[in-house]
Amino acid sequence: MFQKLFNWLDDRTGYRKIAKATLYEPVPGGARWRYVWGSTLTFALMVQFITGIVLWSAYSPSSQTAWESVFYIQEQMTGGWILRGIHHYTAQVMT
């Protein structure tokens, strides 16, 4: 099932070619920390973006319903507690 989705996505965006070029690009002199930080930040930004969109679908920013929506995410939404944790800790990595 996921393979069909990934194939469909690749046909429209070409993400596999981009990912392959990015992941297997030769680094002169070997991998060093200064080469790694850009990729780390990009990965953290993508995680923030994806988890943020999912959390945004369940969060209500109103002063009347904010607490209830966070409670729903934490306690009732499937995987919500881990999703919120990933979002939180990825934000801490970026600071």
Residue 73 exposed, middle or buried by CB count within 10 Å (0-12, 13-18, 19+): buried
Mean pLDDT of the chain: 89
How far is 74 from 77, CA to CA, in rounded Å?
7
Q: At 43, phi and psi to the nearest 5? A: -65, -45
Strands (E), the chain: none
Domains and CATH numbers, the chain: 2-94 (1.20.810.10)
Token pair for 2: 């996921």
Is residue 61 classed as helix, strand or coil in its secondary structure? coil
| Predicted confidence (pLDDT) per residue in 21-63, tens digit | 878 877 777 777 777 788 889 899 999 999 999 999 999 999 9
| Predicted confidence (pLDDT) per residue in 55-64, tens digit | 999 999 999 9
Token pair for 11: 């046909």
| Predicted confidence (pLDDT) per residue in 12-22, tens digit | 998 899 888 87
Give which of 74, 88, 80 is closest to 54, Cα–Cα: 80
| Predicted confidence (pLDDT) per residue in 75-84, tens digit | 999 999 999 9
